[in-house]
Amino acid sequence: MRNFVKVTLALSLVTQVVFAQKNKSKGFHFAEEQTELMLKSISEAKATSRPNAVTPRTLDKNGNLVLVPSRDWCSGFFPGELWFLYQYTKDKKWMDEARKYTAFIEPEQFTTTTHDLGFEIYCSVGNGYKLTNDPSYKQVIINAAKSLSTRFNPTVGCIKSWDNRKEWKFPVIIDNMMNLELLFAATRLSGDSSFYKIAVTHANTTLKNHFRANNSSYHVIDYDPETGKVLHKQTHQGYADESAWARGQAWGLYGYTMCYRETRNPVYLQQAEKIAAFILNNPTTPTDKVPYWDYNAPDIPNAPRDASAAAITASALYELAKYSENGKSYKKSADQIMNSLSKHYQAEPGGSKGFILLHSTGHKPANSEIDVPISYADYYYLEALLRQ
């Protein structure tokens, strides 16, 4: 009987692995076809776009492809997608395209007016370096980390998010956790521990001030830059200040999982698990695990969904599963999310100008990018496929 159980479990494991590999293959095949279309769509859109527009972000209300310049926080996602395609397929054509689009983003390495250098540089150049060991990419990462470090205020203990915004003195958003990966990488590549120290300090300050008792997070914490005192807590892109903006929760989950990987500090692992519990056990989380744009949106179940939040969450859960005693449960939830995205949120083949996923929500309070495809949803979906 015991041997029978062992054989059954072994067969079940093999079946799960085969099924995952089949889904991964199917997902990347679709992504390749859509990305071929996206490359053609970009060429067509450049005829009517700004001269400095280089990568796709979304579709406008008329279904036209929106291209953005390298300074846009979303600029690095499409080059990252191309690197993911190369990573999976080993097809040189994807590396060539990835190098081409990554080169468009490299000038941002010297920009000091944004906190989004992690999104811009690490999602593009960082992925390129991991796959090629190109020494020029290494230097770009280090330069970008130096630029990002100029935004760190040791009194506050954080990297400043937005400049020139009258409503805040020193705003720090939960999204900023994602940009810390650039700093951790720069310490490994340069040996300069100052980047590591800034990242850890930012993560600790955010852990202290961004989270509520139920382990959901605010979007923005405004600090006094001279004293470090918290001035105001709010949820700028969510329904209300005390609501839980879905993508913000996903950023936090991903960010603290990544911080645990880089530091092995158990406090970060515990925080990631707490955020995962909030997301997965939330009474408003739909059965398909793809959240509404805000967990407290008043018009649930008729509120817009956010496939991007789901994709970020799935990618984070796959990594968290490697570190946690609850790994099997996290992987199961990630699989459920990916199954939903693949079956019900994908674009029609040959449609949507080449985007992969539909039904994301960018900034609903500003009536911006609601129920649209968007580049970061596709990026984290492909990353999650690779992590399956």
Any domain includes 2: no
Q: For residue 255, is it left (φ>0), alpha (ψ between -120 and 50) or beta?
A: alpha
SS3 357: strand
261 is in an annotated binding site: no
251 is in an annotated binding site: yes
Any domain includes 190: yes
Task: For 135-156, give the secondary structure using H, E and C.
Answer: HHHHHHHHHHHHHHHCCEECCC
- DSSP states along 55-118: EEEEE-TTSPEEEEETTSTTTTHHHHHHHHHHHHH--HHHHHHHHHHHHHHGGGGG--S-STHI
Backbone angles phi, psi at 371, to 5 degrees: 55, 55
Any domain includes 8: no
**Residues carrying an active site annotation:** 116, 175
**Whole-structure pTM value:** 0.95
Per-residue pLDDT of the chain (388 residues; tens, 9 = 90+): 666 555 555 555 445 566 578 889 999 999 999 999 999 999 999 999 888 999 999 999 999 999 999 999 999 999 999 999 999 999 999 999 999 999 999 999 999 999 999 999 999 999 999 999 999 999 999 999 999 999 999 999 999 999 988 899 999 999 999 999 999 999 999 999 999 999 999 999 999 999 999 999 999 999 999 999 999 999 999 999 999 999 999 999 999 999 999 999 999 999 999 999 999 999 999 999 999 999 999 999 999 999 999 999 999 999 999 999 999 999 999 999 999 999 999 999 999 999 999 999 999 999 999 999 999 999 999 999 999 9
For residue 354, the domain's CATH number is: 1.50.10.10
Any domain includes 157: yes
Any domain includes 259: yes
Judge contact between 21 and 335, C-beta under 8 A.
no
Any domain includes 264: yes
Any domain includes 6: no
294 is in an annotated binding site: no
- Using only C-alpha atoms, the chain has a radius of gyration, in whole angstroms, of 20
Any domain includes 1: no
The domain total for the chain is: 1
**Residue 373 lies in domain:** 18-387
